[in-house]
Each structure stands twice: as structure tokens, then as C-alpha cells.
Structure 1
Amino acid sequence: MTLTQNQSKTLVRGVGGVILFVLIVWTLAPLYWMLVTSLKNNTEIYSPDSNFWPINPTLDNYRTLFNETNFLIYFRNSLIVAAVTTLLSLILSALGAYALTRLRFPGRKFFARALVYTYLMPSSLLFIPLLIIIRSVGLQNSLEGLVFAYLGFTVPFCTWLLMGYFMSIPIELEESAMIDGCSRLGVLFRIVLPLTVPALAVVAFFSFTLSWNEFIYASVLVADTDVRTIPTGIPNFIVEDVFFWGPMMASTLISSLPPLIVYFLFQRFLITGLTLGAVKG
């Protein structure tokens, strides 16, 4: 039996819709289970009979989280580290990408390739040397030390990503501005950066989510409770062999909100930046 063109399109759309639905359920199921568990009391959580919704919804887990744990400290630290890392990554990567794409100096191609190689280096091989460096300069157990550590993997990738966008901008625009008396920095901030807002949104989102969720460096470089971030603070809810699932699920659900908020705020720029990057790459 031969399918017509319209039947083939309908079949493809149906199969694609089923696959998309399965992927959506696969993605949202953990979030739904976290929400449901955070609204259950301990009796329902530890009951041998699992329920897909809370029988007696309660906010006790959230009260415990905010009043009896250090979650607000972890949240504040994560927000500071992610925000500062994102801001510095934008500044440093923009300056570095513009220098590598527009200026001519010895070793330019080597530095451009080194950025990619630096980003590809696994963090599991770097955290011990990095710990020695951070300790030697007196930044261990500090938010500043985490920021400098995170810049080591955000700046190389962000710089490499922005290089592709900067090269797509006609150099004649910059030459015209410099003829009118604009400096190199003026060209960068007045012409190049406004034309690459979608790319900057992608870079900012990448830096924020990576530094928000990072665990290895945070667990090695920070030990004091006052400077722990969310990924290293949530495991403190496990005492010996007792898992406080209610507060853990509540904290995990709340900690997932900032990246989602950042995404929805810059959604239009992110989609444009990702699609342009796919074409220009």
C-alpha cells in the first residue's frame, strides 16, 4: 500500500507529535514529582503506597526549609556567584573575542585554538591544581574564589562563541565609525555589542546556569556553611542514613526557578541567538 504525499506528511506529524509528547513528559515528570513530594507530609512521603498527588497538601516542608535550615544562605551565595560570574564572563569574553577577531598580533590563532582546548579540559582533572592556586592566594572558602574558578570554564567557551558572531559583522561599519573619531572600545560598545544582543543572551544564560549548578569546584573550594552554594548545601539535608525528602524536594524545586526565570526573560534573544549560531557556525 502506497501512501500519498498528504498521508505521509500526516504520518510524520503524528509520529513527531508522539515523540514530542513523550519527551515533554520525560522532562516534566521529575519537576512534577518534586512539587508533589514537597507538598506531602512525612507520613505520605515514607508510606509504602506511593501517591501521584498529595492527599493532605501541606507547606510544612517549606516552613522547615526557610526557618530551620541554611537554605536562604545557600540561595544567596549561589545568586551572588552566578550573577558576578555572568557579568564578568560577558565583559571578559566580549573584550577577548573582539581582540581575537579584529586585532592582529603574534599568536592570535594559537590563543583562539587554546580557548577551545581549555574548555574541553574536564573539571575532574583541574580541581586539585585549582585548589592549590586558590589556597595559595588566600581565596579558599570564599565566594571570590568560586567566581575566579568558574571564570576558568565560562570565559573560554563564551569567547569562542562570540568570535563567530563578531566575524559576521561587516568590518566596514567599524571602519566608518573609526573614521568619524570613534575608538576601538567605542566601536565595540556602540556598534558591535548592540548588533550581537542575541549572542550575549546565549552567553549570559550559559554562564548563569553553569555557575548556578556547578558542584565539583564548589565542594572542593568551599567548606564553611556561610559560603556554601545550593549544590553543596542540599546534601546537608541528609543526616547519616536519614533522608529529609520533603525539605530536599522543596529546596530543589525552588533552586530550579532562577534559571527558568532567566530563560523566560530572555527567551526571544536566546532562540534568535541559538538559530543564528547554527547558521553562522
Structure 2
Amino acid sequence: MAAIETNNRPNTDEGGMGYLQSLPRRVVTVYLPLLIFVIVLLFPFYWMTITAVKPNLEMTDYANFNPFWVVNPTLEHIRYLLFDTSYPGWLLNTIIISTASTFLSLLAAVFAAYAIERLRFSGARQVGLAIFLAYLVPPSILFIPLSVMVFNLGLYDTPFALILTYPTFLIPFCTWLLMGYFRSIPFELEECALMDGASRWQI
């Protein structure tokens, strides 16, 4: 009889996420924080968009216009940026420099990280530590010697100056990240490939 009464007793210990079954609790603990987070996250993009299409008068006259809304949208600012400034050239230079620097950095970092983690040569750990310490060096310390080298090589005021300079900051960071990636790959996979006759390049 006691067992029957125990089984019929209502379960008051909800536990886990059971307290979220109530709608007011879900609103306070889940939906409201998510709403605040989304608003804070998306507001800069909203402000950037309305500012791009807002006339100059609406951007300065807050007494007569709402700063969070556009009354008379215009594309004049975008037209001015694309056709009356050097922005397209700057954008093209940025794409070329960032793509070339990223390619050179990844090329060097993949070889360096693979050699340190997989070839097991003498002093590999010390080399890895040295690369990590190089990553910690503030880039501002390298500006003066790098500028001297750029002047001596005759690359001043050319895209090649940045293409060759940026990898000095990127390679240590990329190598450090890729060392952790190669460390996570089991050695047995490479050993099986070597036993099957694959070369290092094929692996």
C-alpha cells in the first residue's frame, strides 16, 4: 500500500531543465537574454546600413529627424564612394595583398608545422618553442628593421612591401595553430600510408 502511495505522489523534483517548462520562466531566462544579445550583435550592422543610405541633412539634424530611421533614403554616398574616390583601387590592393600574404604564410606554416610535429628531428620541440616566442614579439618592435629592409630592397611604396612584410607576423601564428592541428592527427594514419608505399608528399 505504501509503495502505491509513493508511486501516485506527484513528482515535485523537476531537476535538469524542467524549470523551463513554464512560459514566464522561459521568457525571462531564455528569450529575453537572447533578444538582448541579438539586438546588441546586429545593431552595428543596422546603423551602418541606415547611415550609408541617409542624406547628410538627416545625419546632422537630429531635432527634426529620427537618428534610428531613414526618411528619404539615397544612394548618393555609395555612388560618391565608388566613382569619385580611389576606393575601388584601395579595395583591389587590399584583396591582392591579403591573398598573397595569406598564401605565402600558409605555404610556409604548413611545411614548418608538419616538419616540427611529424619528422621528429633533433631539436624539434625547441624550434616549436622558438616559433611560439616569435609569435609573442610585438609587431611594433619589428617596424624599424623591416622598414630599413624595404628601403634597401627598393620596395618602398609598392604592394610587394606589404606582401613580404605581413608574413613575418602571420607565419609564427599560423605555424603555432597548425602544429596543434597536426598533433591531433593520429600517427598511425601516416604509418599505414608509409607501409603502403606513399611518399611524404602523397601523405
- TM-score, structure 2 as length reference: 0.80
Q: Percent identity?
A: 39
Question: Residue 35 of structure 1 corresponds to which residue in structure 2?
Answer: 49
Match of 1:146 in 2: 162
User: Structure 2: which 5+ residue stretches go unaligned?
Assistant: 1-11
Deviation at 1:116, TM superposition (A): 1.7
Asked if 1:45 corresponds to 2:97, the answer is no
Deviation (angstroms), 1:13 = 8.2
Deviations 1:18-71 (A, max 9, x none): 333323222221111111011011111221334212110110001101110000
Going from structure 1 to structure 2, the CA distance change for 1:136 and 1:27 (only over 3 Å counts) comes to: farther
How far does residue 100 in structure 1 lie from its aligned partner after superposition?
A: 0.4
Q: Distance in 2 between matches of 1:82 and 1:90?
A: 12
Q: Which residue number corresponds to residue 176 of structure 1? A: 192
Q: Which residue of 1 aligns with 2:202?
A: 186
> Equivalences for 1:1-281 in 2 at 5 Å?
4-5=14-15, 6-7=18-19, 11=25, 14-49=28-63, 50-187=66-203
Query: CA 1:157–1:33 in 2, change beyond 3 Å: closer, same or farther?
Result: same
**3-state SS of paired residue (2:197):** coil
Stretch of structure 1 that moved more, 7-16 or 135-144: 7-16
Structure 1 segments unaligned to the other structure (5+ residues): 188-281
1:173-208 alpha-carbon deviations (Å, 9 max, x no partner): 212222333221221xxxxxxxxxxxxxxxxxxxxx
Query: Structure 1 runs of 4+ off > 4 angstroms?
Result: 8-14
- Give the Cα–Cα distance (whole angstroms) in 1 for the partners of residues 125 and 21 of structure 2: 47
Please give the root-mean-square deviation of Cα atoms over the aligned residues, in Å: 2.3
Partner SS for 2:201: helix
SS, match of residue 172 in structure 2 = helix
Distance of 1:78 and 1:114 partners within structure 2 = 30
Corresponding residue of 1:231: none
Mapped to 1, the partners of 2:134 and 2:29 lie a distance apart of: 41
Of structures 1 and 2, the one with the larger relative CO (CA 8 A, separation 6+) is: 1
Q: Distance in 2 between matches of 1:16 and 1:126?
A: 48
Give the TM-score normalised by structure 1.
Answer: 0.60
Specify the code of the residue in structure 2 equivalent to 1:27.
Answer: L
1:246 maps to which residue? none
The structure whose Rg is larger is 2
1:231-254 C-alpha deviation (Å, 9 max, x unpaired):
xxxxxxxxxxxxxxxxxxxxxxxx
Counterpart-to-counterpart distance in 2, 1:136 and 1:17 = 60
Select the structure that is richer in helix: 1
Letter in 1 for 2:69: W
